[in-house]
Amino acid sequence: MTNHRPNILFFCSDQHQTAASGSYGHAEAQTPNIDRIAASGISFNRAYCQSPVCVPARGSIITAQYPHTHGARILQDALSPDTRTIAHHFAEHGYQTGAIGKMHFVDETQKHGFDYRLEMKDFRKTLTDEEWWELRRDQGGGGGTSGRPSKLSARYFQDTYYADETVRYLREKRDPDKPFILWSSYFMPHTPLVPMQQYFDLYNPETLTLPQRSDNALETGFEGHLMRAKQRGWYTQTDRELGHALAGYYGNISQMDACIGKVLDTLYDLGLDKNTIIVYTSDHGEMAGAHRMWTKHNMYEQSVCVPLIIRLPGDIDANTSHNHLVEHVDIYPTLAELCNLPIPENIHGRSFAPLFDNRTYQPREYAYSEYDFCHGVFTRDNRYVGKPPILMVRTDRWKLNYLSWARSELFDLENDPNEFRNLIDDPANTSIARELTDIAKRMYRTN
């Protein structure tokens, strides 16, 4: 890197399944702007969130700590205002800091080190009360998985506002004499699956490729997942219903991608691309019908693996990918090192910056994630709320989803990449299950 410290433009979406991008090899999902970043950047094929739910996952991105340490463990937990974040660290080294869009701090009066902050209440001011209710009627409930086109124009969508305000920040609000670290954070492709008509129409619900669904899906693992899928109506979703839901989900992705494109165009128009690191990731994934499930709250690959693309200034036509196991907590120290800043102490993340200039790098032996049961969104009776969390340990070949009080899950990802066969009871795998269990307990207890 040059002595002139680079800017950072950090795109974060909500609930984007890694596979559902053109740059990750999807034949149907259309993501031309995310693909633009990948074409001159490095994509990580095995990046993992630290919790498959919004609040703890996002807390881990900005703190480089696991949820049981930063404390925001479920959807209802506000990240403590005393928590140090990437924004505090970069501000102390001369950066202007901004966060536009969905950061999900819960208590949005706390800015967590971001000097410039716009969020949902700012978008809400752009609509009249009548228009707000029109939006709510059009979109339906936040967990809806019935795909259909919206009747509304772009200005009704919060992501349009976030993209426009990111553009305004780049053109008018930033200090040209200081480097910036700016979050541009979007709600889509999170449910409901009701994108604008033009994006829904990119996909034919009748011909979309459906995920493989096992006849005995969820029956050999943790019983709570099967209960949740049946309570939500996902388990009996027909092929036709699934096709329309996927059209809505992919439409959401394409609509979010168009917002990213608007910001990228501005970045390039202003010549800021020459000294800006661009990051794209999502807080967690989306099941999108796999295992007869939607949304997240589990440790299947569709839910816990995340897209992660990083493009360095001048890194033209790089278009490379890595299969190393990396975690969301690794992004913060990596960006610090890429910007020639000291790496903070007392974090769980480790920098993978050496991968960008072919220096020696010792990859992680495993990725770790945890999930505490959230009120009101897992089962209707909240029967698991307050119980110890699911702890995931994923190596190159194996994945353990450990529960100290219920049926755990062990998958051989080399021979069963779809995670259809739970091998936890196979005597041949006793030693690997014990080894991964010990790692899970150690990670949760000592970090």
Q: Return d(Cα 61, Cα 80) in angstroms, integer.
A: 15
The pLDDT of residue 3 is 40
Residue-averaged pLDDT of the chain = 95
Q: Which tens digit of pLDDT belongs to each residue from 204-244?
A: 999 999 998 888 999 999 999 999 999 999 999 999 999 99
CB 21 within 8 A of CB 309: no
The pLDDT of residue 316 is 62
Q: Which tens digit of pLDDT belongs to each residue from 355-383?
A: 998 899 999 999 999 999 999 999 999 99
Q: Return d(Cα 11, Cα 103) in angstroms, integer.
A: 11
Of 285, 281, 370, the residue nearest 334 (C-alpha): 281
CB 297 within 8 A of CB 52: yes
The stretches of 316-420 forming alpha helices (DSSP H) are 331-338
| % of residues, the chain, pLDDT over 90 | 93
296-to-234, 285, 319, 365 alpha-carbon distances in Å:
12, 7, 29, 25
Residues 6+ apart with CB under 8 A from 35: 21, 22, 23
Does the pLDDT value for residue 80 go beyond 60? yes
The sign of the dihedral angle between the CA atoms of 304, 72, 59, 63 is negative
Q: Return d(Cα 400, Cα 411) in angstroms, integer.
A: 7
Cis peptide before 211 (omega within 30 of 0): no
Q: Return d(Cα 151, Cα 148) in angstroms, integer.
A: 10
Phi-psi region of 103 (alpha: psi -120 to 50; beta: other; left: phi over 0): alpha
Strand partners of residue 150: 196
Name the residue with tokens 């202007």.
Answer: 96
The pLDDT of residue 9 is 98
Confidence of residue 147 (pLDDT cuts 50, 70, 90): very high
Span 390-418, mean pLDDT? 98
pTM of the model: 0.97
Q: Return d(Cα 331, Cα 23) in angstroms, integer.
A: 20
The CATH topology of domain 7-356 is Alkaline Phosphatase, subunit A (3.40.720)
Residues 6+ apart with CB under 8 A from 350: 330, 333, 364
Span 332-359, mean pLDDT? 95
